[in-house]
Structure 1
Amino acid sequence: MRPSISISMVLATTVVGFQSFAQNIETTDSLGIAESSAAQKQSLALQISARYSDLELSLKDQITEKQLSTPIDKLNSAKPYSAFSSKMQKADLGYRKMKGINDFSDSVLEIRMADEAMIEAWKNGENPLFAFEPSGDDSNWQYIEAYDVYGQVHQLDVYQMPDVPVFVVDSNGAEELKAGLMAMQAEMQKLGTTTQINAVSDTNADESKPQKPSLMSKAHRSMALSEPEPLNTTQLTKIRLAVDQEPWISGKAEIYAIVTGVDSSRLEPQIDLVEMPYLDYDKQTYYPNQTVIFWPRYRWGAADMILMEHDDGTDYKALAKLLVQAAEEILKMIPDPEVQGYAIIPQITGKIIDVIPDGVLVNDDDFVDVYYTLMQNTPYEDRPGAGGNAVASFAPVTISPTE
């Protein structure tokens, strides 16, 4: 399903004017945000295609087989005194404000070549097309709309990779998700839930980009100073997803996890967020050795883990509120949680899964899978998720104090 915006409207929408245009689209729910996001990317794709001759040198300086993308605000016009970069910065700012992540990222919109195999033909002079990801469920897409350098519209197959160079105007999914998780954490903390983000180690991080100090590493240092005793954790040692065929334009998957349970010191929900930037593609096995559960934070030595995929329609603050409210609702319904013990944790997780697709996200495909009742000090080898979409191994790891 294409965005509900006509080509004539796109042509009339300048980059500078997009922010005021976006305000006229209802963005209080996921559908409004997704459509507004797609409309902005459509506008940018059309305008960059129209100015390709002016931007070609800048693109060729920055896009290579090893670096398929560049931020749109790094594109430089060959014309002197051009205000193009400034317009791109304003467009990026408007996008970040719309998604509620402006306080957690300086830039997220980018332009990327759809596949590295396209680079050679493009470098040898073949003119590219410029595309964007439509809004809505990809099962409803009839084609991918793209523009050539003459302003003509092309309809590309949804699942078959094009045989011509295609640039995709999109957000940097990893950067947006990271900022989104930080926005969720901040909102949850406002609601009284002490959420932490479990980040990957530096060895898993993208070494091509400067790394900001992770919130998790700060928590580790604080915990190490105040609690010298060994720390019980569970690591994700192996994971593989068997997702159905995805559209080529979507690029890498952006997967994260929500760990749910009950606070170790009070009868309140405990919800932590897990970054998983390495989990790019389905049908491929990854060995992250990532710490996903810190057991001193969880009651009864039990927790669940929901796997989710980043979606363009996500309102991160709204999602944070929904998670907390769903978990609190279940706990309030149980007169004496201590009697049921960890049996109430799947009830919390089930409630969260029930409300997420209808409440915040555009379609159910963003739910990937769920692991119920992961126990402390218990290894799991090649354990399928409840939905059969993920197979993962978990190992208990005790981290000893530094001597």
Structure 2
Amino acid sequence: MSQSSPTRLVVSTLGALAVTAGLATAPAHAGPAAPAGPAAPTGSVAAITEHLAARLAGDLADDARRAGLLTASTRPVPLSRAAGDTALGRAVRDADRAVLTAKGLPQDGTSLLTVRLAHADMAAALGRGVAPLVASSPADDEATTVTAHDRAGRRVALPADRVPARPVYLVEVDTTTALAKGVEVLRSTLSQRGLSPTAAVAPASGYWATQLTSIRLEDDKEPWHKGDAEIFAINAGFGLDGKVAVDTVQLPYLDEDGKTYYPNQLLVHFSGYKYNLADLVMMEEDGGTNYRDLALALTQALLTIVDGGAYIPLVNAIINALPDSWWTDDPDYVDSWYTLSTATSGTLRGAAGNGTMTVTPYWVSPL
């Protein structure tokens, strides 16, 4: 998913796979050898997927094909299909465990890694027997090249703005599953710290909510190497106890930018808030999001805010809590909306100018 405001992780390469200009012998149609660049931080999602992509292109390529991982389909194939006590199976399991750690998710056996053919137009060349490349799925909207690996272990630079003639497989994180797990971590951590809204309405009564009737995110272009992103929102207000209360909501339908969606989704529930006001910050799960770090950062920032008897906007506190890395290679911030109320209605442009949504008050009646 391409977005004008959030950018994603710059694709990194491992120094051990670097080749000098004098040794770059990749076929002309593959693109020039990629120059050595700064390696992704050890243990990061980018480093893990990059390392696995290099192995799938090289020593694990035959095993991956036999396991049915490298197909002509653009649909993501779970790498967990590589089961058993084989080099491929062990490599995938190790990488999956490392990705869970990097994303601050529990080690519950969940497999997040997938691989797919990057673009449908590459299937014909694949059918003709053209040797494919394998890359770690890049996430930087402004990257000019995508670094892939060939069978000989060389790094190959591909243009980011046009579909390569040579087939490319992309190793990615299943962001849908990651977001569902991550929201659980956020809610659990915030609840343990007393930062979750607690509904106080009696069963016989009802409450006001904000209904999202339409939403659109701006779009520049959709590069060949981008898959769909997963969007979620953090809404915050003051709970009945005077502490900041934070809730999360997923927007799984927001697959494409430049397209208007009409979800009629309840976005903010005011039943657990002291005031009839709340703020909203929209985020993107791009594969590199660490939910444990996000939850701890939110906790540390928001526990210091005290209710002074009047509503205080919380967007800035949430944004300031985001790790510094999210504003360089991995800024998952999409947009924000200040002071939504129980009476807010109409079309609202986000503060960052990236999102536009239409909302209306909605009365939630009891059964």
Give the drift of 1:121.
4.1
Verify the 8 A CA contact 2:237 2:278 in the aligned structure 1. Answer: yes
Structure 1: stretches of 5+ with no match in the other structure: 11-30, 197-218
Q: 2:345 aligns with which of 379, 382, 397?
A: 379
Verify the 8 A CA contact 2:133 2:167 in the aligned structure 1. Answer: yes
Cα deviations across residues 351-385 of structure 1 (Å, max 9, x unaligned)?
222332527664474221111111114322x3211
Paired residue for 1:269?
A: 244
Which sits farther off after the overlay, 124-133 or 161-170? 124-133
1:67-78 equivalent positions in 2, closer than 5 A: 68-75=75-82
Matched, 1:314 2:289: yes
Cα deviations across residues 276-319 of structure 1 (Å, max 9, x unaligned)?
12112211111122111111012221111111122444332221
Matched, 1:122 2:126: yes
Structure with greater contact order relative to length (CA < 8 Å, sep ≥ 6): 2
Matched, 1:38 2:46: yes
Paired residue for 1:108?
A: 112
Which sits farther off after the overlay, 107-116 or 361-370? 361-370
Q: 1:170 aligns with which of 159, 169, 172?
A: 172
Give the drift of 1:398.
2.0
Which sits farther off after the overlay, 284-293 or 119-128? 119-128
Verify the 8 A CA contact 2:69 2:77 in the aligned structure 1. Answer: no
Distance in 2, matches of 1:75 and 1:124, equals 26
Q: 2:206 aligns with which of 230, 236, 239?
A: 230
Which sits farther off after the overlay, 299-308 or 229-238? 229-238
Verify the 8 A CA contact 2:136 2:171 in the aligned structure 1. Answer: yes
**AA partner of residue 100 (structure 2):** R
Q: Which has the higher helix share?
A: 1
Cα deviations across residues 212-236 of structure 1 (Å, max 9, x unaligned)?
xxxxxxx9xxx99x62323422221
Give the drift of 1:327.
2.4
User: Structure 1 145/295 Cα, relative in aligned 2: closer, same or farther at 3 Å?
Assistant: same
Structure 2: stretches of 5+ with no match in the other structure: 1-9, 20-39
User: Structure 1 82/153 Cα, relative in aligned 2: closer, same or farther at 3 Å?
Assistant: same
Paired residue for 2:15?
A: 6
Give the drift of 1:130.
0.7
Distance in 1, matches of 2:44 and 2:279, equals 34
Verify the 8 A CA contact 1:274 1:292 in the aligned structure 2. Answer: yes
1:252-267 equivalent positions in 2, closer than 5 A: 252-263=228-239, 265-267=240-242
Distance in 2, matches of 1:52 and 1:327, equals 48
Distance in 1, matches of 2:71 and 2:285, equals 26
Distance in 2, matches of 1:7 and 1:262, equals 51
User: Structure 1 144/373 Cα, relative in aligned 2: closer, same or farther at 3 Å?
Assistant: same
Distance in 1, matches of 2:339 and 2:291, equals 26
Aligned residue for 1:249, secondary structure, equals coil
Paired residue for 2:64?
A: 55
Give the drift of 1:76.
6.2
Identity across matched positions, percent? 31
**AA partner of residue 299 (structure 2):** V
Q: 2:334 aligns with which of 349, 368, 372?
A: 368
Give the drift of 1:2.
5.1
Give the drift of 1:88.
1.4
1:1-400 equivalent positions in 2, closer than 5 A: 3=12, 5-8=14-17, 32=41, 36-50=44-58, 51-59=60-68, 64=73, 68-75=75-82, 82-103=86-107, 106-123=110-127, 125-134=129-138, 138-139=141-142, 141-194=143-196, 227-245=203-221, 247-263=223-239, 265-331=240-306, 337-338=308-309, 341-342=310-311, 344=312, 346=313, 348-358=314-324, 362-363=328-329, 365-380=331-346, 382-400=347-365
RMSD: 3.1
TM-score, length-normalised on structure 2?
0.80
TM-score, length-normalised on structure 1?
0.74
Matched pairs, number: 337
Distance in 1, matches of 2:213 and 2:128, equals 43
